[in-house]
Chains A and B, each alone.
Chain A
Amino acid sequence: DQQVKQNSPSLSVQEGRISILNCDYTNSMFDYFLWYKKYPAEGPTFLISISSIKDKNEDGRFTVFLNKSAKHLSLHIVPSQPGDSAVYFCAARDQGGSEKLVFGKGTKLTVNP
């Protein structure tokens, strides 16, 4: 049973507009959440993270929002650029375990010029 779900396999956005990628989780013991970006033939690259004690973290064009009551987090990219086109993975860490991360299946973002 998937503990981290990314229900949208793909998302297409126009350059300059906002991209919103969503992630839902079921395990209330998750205390640290991350977003990774992956280009073809490369490994996942860390993008941004958020601790469960916060509800927002911002880094340049990227903002992650966490809604613990809804067990939902989202990644906002604004403005979107064609170079942002990649697969985005949401991941979560269980505070009761080791440094183990649980990943979602990913959302493929396409930013059109």
Chain B
Amino acid sequence: AQTVTQSQPEMSVQEAETVTLSCTYDTSESNYYLFWYKQPPSRQMILVIRQEAYKQQNATENRFSVNFQKAAKSFSLKISDSQLGDTAMYFCAFILAGGSQGNLIFGKGTKLSVKP
């Protein structure tokens, strides 16, 4: 069975600084996808970034980038130039590729607070 672990229940960062959220996962499969979702207090789950396991290049979306280490089964999220609007719960998620069902496996989340 696949598992996703986020070891940091809470983190804080000063506005304009950089913060890295950690995520590790466990799977015996080689083809899968990894995601970071953001859930602000409004509770809307927003897809932040996506990484295909077969791609060595780390995904980047504006201020958000990942450090994907497949051998170590690690998938961290770096947020640069943090903004107050980045305050949210961040969930790391995993899904096997090629399946017909949609079972995203989520970590327990990291609560990020951006302080002015």
Do the two shown chains form a genuine complex with each other? no
Task: Point out residues on A near B: beta carbons under 8 Å.
Answer: none
Task: Point out residues on B near A: beta carbons under 8 Å.
Answer: none
